[in-house]
Chain A
């Protein structure tokens, strides 16, 4: 059972454009939603994260939008750069029970073209 659904599977954006990746979750116990960036051969690196008490969080060029009623959240990358080309994973966890294991989406391969 896939608890976090991510789309699109791949995305091509021109340099300077906005990249948007979407995720939807099913488990209402989830209360922590991070995004990870992964380059080939490397481990995932935490990019930005949000909790459901806010609807938006911005850090530099990266913004998470969160819709609790729809159980959806998205990552927006403004002014996309070639260095942003990577695979992005959304994830979710429940922090109420000590084990904050992450449930990941299937990933989005982002390519920024000049």
Chain B
């Protein structure tokens, strides 16, 4: 068990470019979450997958954001036409297969800077 892995750790991009982040959850976990954290704030929920199904999206997730989890394994988060306000830490978390197994384990995050 290597924990939740996120790639890249850091990304600097120019405004208007598209970026994609990857998350590899703990292998036996069927639930996967994406959160966004800005400086001095707690993480905010973006979206949730159970296996390959995206079951909830926050209103924070504008139409420039899209997330996928093909085959219920790794997940990707894509931001199109990045804006400076997208600069944040993007965190992925996963949790276990059975309801009641609520412990969510976070990855190290991907820090996005839009210049």
Residues on A lying within 8 angstroms of B by beta carbon are: 6, 32, 34, 36, 41-46, 49, 89, 91, 93, 95, 98-107
Q: Is the interface of B mostly helix, strand, loop or mixed?
A: strand
Inter-chain CB contacts under 8 Å: number: 65
CB < 8 Å: which of A41, A46, A93, A103 contacts B105? A46
User: B: which residues have CB within 8 A of A?
Assistant: 4, 6, 31, 33, 35, 40-45, 48, 50, 55-56, 91, 93, 95, 99-100, 102-109, 111
* Residue numbers in A under 8 Å from B44 (CB-CB): 104
Question: With a CB–CB cut-off of 8 A, which chain A residues contact B4?
Answer: 43
Which residue of the partner chain B has the closest CB to A9? B40
Q: Which residues of B contact A36 (CB under 8 A)?
A: 106
B43 touches A104 (CB 8 A): yes
